[in-house]
Structure 1
Amino acid sequence: MVENAPIDRHSQGMKTRRSVLGESYVDAAVARTTAFDAPFQNLITEAAWGHVWSRDTWSKRERSIVTIALLAGLGHFEEMAMHVRATARTGATMDDIQEALLHVAIYAGVPAANHAMKVAKQAFAEIEGETGK
């Protein structure tokens, strides 16, 4: 029986985090890290990015769609906006997000989806402004 080498979840998480959120976003987050929030930053890098987002069962596009729907349904709109902006790197399209937010309206409530639509529109406008598309 061959044992698999242990995975360095922090390194894998940082690689995945950078591929989804972008170098400049992650560099800024790292620069803002203090002794107080360093354990939290390590936790999300290892758990969210190193374990969940690094799995190969779903594509980054699929994870992006699900993440945006969950954040919208839970009312975490600032985080949702960050993930909408990340769709430029994950491959999730505006149509994908539109469909996800229609699901949010039915399963999590119209007020949550209504605000999520507003947030998504603003985030897509930011992407368009950055890319000139």
Structure 2
Amino acid sequence: MSKDVDNELKGLFQKGLSTRREVLGPDYVDGSLQKANDFMMSFQHITTEWCWGYAWNRPGLERKIRSMLNLAMLTALNRPNELRLHVKGALRNGVSVDEIREVLLQATVYCGIPAGLDAFKSANQVLEEEGAFEAGQG
């Protein structure tokens, strides 16, 4: 690998690491890195550089919109574990409970009831844990 490419990847990793920590929380991100062996560290690099360093830092969309898109895509892919993680990130990025609900309803219509149900259950769990519901809401 050329020195320029290596430096560019290091820059993307650092930028991505900062964004990833801001959105997902430093405990989760640092824990993932600390638990990674040599094999898994390859995945940590690609997700931090490409996903968080490149895609999440492009100028075309604000983080709130990116979070909303992720919720819809993770519903479509039926990935409840990742969805729970990204509900927390969506809250950090300013997505309201009402907006999360609307994204999941929209995704349910297009992705199907089973995927929507899993998404709602996962999101509800996180929203309760995070104290995101106002008194009497839920």
SS of match in other structure, 1:53: helix
Give the corresponding residue for 1:50.
53
Q: Which residue identity is paired with 1:126?
A: E
SS of match in other structure, 1:58: coil
Question: Structure 1 residue 10 and structure 2 residue 13: aligned?
Answer: yes
Contact map agreement 1:68 1:80 (CA 8 A) in 2: yes
Give the corresponding residue for 1:31.
34
- Tell me, in whole angstroms, the C-alpha distance in 2 between the residues paired with 1:96 and 1:72: 15
Deviation of 1:94 after TM superposition, in Å, equals: 0.9
Deviation of 1:56 after TM superposition, in Å, equals: 2.1
Runs of 4+ in 1 over 3 A off after TM superposition: none
Give the corresponding residue for 1:61.
64
State which drifts further: 41-50 or 21-30: 21-30
TM-score (normalizing by structure 2): 0.85
Give the corresponding residue for 2:77.
74
Give the corresponding residue for 2:4.
none
TM-score (normalizing by structure 1): 0.88
Deviation of 1:115 after TM superposition, in Å, equals: 1.4
Q: Which residue identity is paired with 2:23?
A: V
Structure 2 unaligned segments of length 5 or more: list them.
1-7
- Tell me, in whole angstroms, the C-alpha distance in 2 between the residues paired with 1:88 and 1:32: 26
Question: Structure 1 residue 22 and structure 2 residue 25: aligned?
Answer: yes
Match of 1:94 among 94, 97, 120: 97
Equivalenced residue count is: 127
Match of 1:107 among 107, 110, 124: 110
Cα RMSD of the aligned pairs, angstroms, is 2.0
- Tell me, in whole angstroms, the C-alpha distance in 2 between the residues paired with 1:118 and 1:107: 18
Contact map agreement 1:104 1:110 (CA 8 A) in 2: no
